[in-house]
Amino acid sequence: MGMKHTDEGIMKHIRAHLVFLNAHGHAFTGEAFAAQTRFFLEDEFHLRMLEDQQTGLAYYLSAAAGAYAAMGF
């Protein structure tokens, strides 16, 4: 992909994902999403699930979610 975790396009994708979740009964803030992605790094099942899709995905997702949350969303 070659995009920094703080790229504007990545932030837009996260925002769209959270809008979708909130519209479908899951109350998620940027901070709640960041906390969930940190959990993914600690939980072996979720870590493997993401890392099996692409090496580094769990860490990238967590960094991007943290950056999104830091923006105050």
Structure tokens at 6: 């703080």
Domain ranges of the chain: 8-20+27-70
For 30-60, what is each residue's pLDDT tens digit?
999 999 999 999 999 999 999 999 999 999 9
pLDDT at 71 over 70: yes
Between CA 25 and CA 71 the distance in angstroms is 24
pLDDT at 17 over 70: yes
pLDDT at 1 over 70: no
The predicted pLDDT at position 2 comes to 84
The model's pTM: 0.90
